[in-house]
Amino acid sequence: MKLKTPYYFIEETKLLENMKKIAFIREQSGAKFVLALKCFSTWCVFDLMSKYMDGTTSSALYEAKLGYEKFGKEVHAYSVAYPKEEILELKKFADKIIFNSISQLNRFYPLVKNKNLGIRVNPKISYSHFDLADPARKNSRLGVINKKDILDNLNKINGLMFHFNCENEDADNLEQSLNYIGKNYSKMLEKVEWVSFGGGIYFTKDGYNIKKFCKILRDFSKKYNVQIYLEPGESSITMSAKLVTSVLDITHNGKDIAVIDSSTEAHMLDLLTYHTPAKMAKQKNAKHEYIVAGRTCLAGDIFGTYKFTKPLKIGDKIIFEDAAGYSMVKMNWFNGVPMPSIVVKRLNGKIELVKSFTYKDFAGNLS
């Protein structure tokens, strides 16, 4: 199949590697896994993922509905703040509704008191390489800090959510954090049915101590008699997709610059948000260095600086690795640049073009 760049290329065999790790952790620890749709909502591979995961978790109504309709199984609804109309819709199908504040819990409790409810707790500890993504940063609005407020409302809830990690690849740090949570929130933990430790735990990173991770979860669950939930996003889809692009032009301004038919601003927005370069596989004997830049008018639309085995020429393919997380869910129509197509290589080797975008999509997104 001849594919027009740019396109996201999802490989189910690589996705399956992550799913098998999740299956092992579920079996060894007793924890349940719900996919964080804020990171990855590309539902053309949900049939595979749903065989290994327990459901989905969302950050607003549309994600929750997508999980319900396309993934099935458990639907966890969370939002920093719900409007009333979303609560009225969510109560029809969500299995768990998690509130970010006591005020929202009390406001909507009469409408959802027959549902399985939770409250997000801010334990005032976190692990994050970026202040922007630190749930416990100064003056954070994420979760309840006052323990008395939670204790006073325990009769209204069934569970607690502690979402305090971002790309935490350190099992020892996680163990220390859960010990801290157990020590400081034991009175609450002993009275609820379940606890979610959110996402941001990088258990699919090479070298992560999965056996220790399983023991940490198993021991915590047994000690407090709670069902543990995890909400992986990136760890569900690590290294499962690439962004395939083509060189449109080559210029020079102090360094050689390759302009490609994609954009950080439009297609990999997190690169700009967190000031990180796109990942690219290293090439052997690479001596030819280029700044790889996007095609939009944004001066800082830069993927990174890379070395190549041969000098680049117009039409060459440039492939970025590990491109699934927070990319497709955030892609946009900035500059009217066409969105990348979505292509899947199935387990049987068949390649499917599952989604392409046209001018009608661009025009229809506006008014």
Q: Which residues contact 166 (CB under 8 A, 6 or more apart)?
A: 126, 127, 128, 129, 130, 133, 134, 135, 200
Q: Give the percent of the chain with pLDDT over 90.
A: 98
Owner of token pair 């387990």: 347
Amino acid residing at 151 = L
The whole-number pLDDT of residue 232 equals: 98
In the chain, alpha helices (H) = 12-29, 46-49, 61-66, 84-90, 102-112, 147-152, 171-184, 186-189, 210-224, 234-237, 264-267, 269-273, 359-364
The whole-number pLDDT of residue 1 equals: 79
- CA angle 117/87/225 to nearest 5° reads 10
Distance CA 120, CA 78 (A): 9
- DSSP annotation of 334 reads G
Amino acid residing at 358 = T
Other CB atoms within a 10 A radius of the CB of residue 224 amount to 18
Strands 288-293 and 116-120: unpaired
Q: Nearest Cα to 8, choosing from 325, 281, 337?
A: 325
The whole-number pLDDT of residue 146 equals: 97
Domains and CATH numbers, the chain: 13-237 (3.20.20.10), 240-364 (2.40.37.10)
Residue 274 has pLDDT above 90, yes or no: yes
The whole-number pLDDT of residue 367 equals: 87
Please state the pTM of the whole predicted model.
0.96
Q: What is the pLDDT of residues 13-71, one digit of tens each?
A: 999 999 999 999 999 999 999 999 999 999 999 999 999 999 999 999 999 999 999 99
Report the mean per-residue pLDDT for the chain: 97
CA distances from 219 to 147, 179, 215 (A): 24, 10, 6
Distance CA 343, CA 232 (A): 23
Structure tokens at 307: 């070395």
Structure tokens at 221: 């669950």
Q: Nearest Cα to 290, choosing from 271, 265, 311, 269?
A: 311
Q: What is the pLDDT of residues 178-220, one digit of tens each?
A: 999 999 999 999 999 999 999 999 999 999 999 999 999 999 9
Distance CA 231, CA 222 (A): 20
Q: What is the pLDDT of residues 61-103, one digit of tens each?
A: 999 999 999 999 999 999 999 999 999 999 999 999 999 999 9
Residue 32 phi/psi, 5° resolution?
A: -110, 150
Q: What is the pLDDT of residues 318-364, one digit of tens each?
A: 999 999 999 999 999 999 999 999 999 999 999 999 999 999 999 99
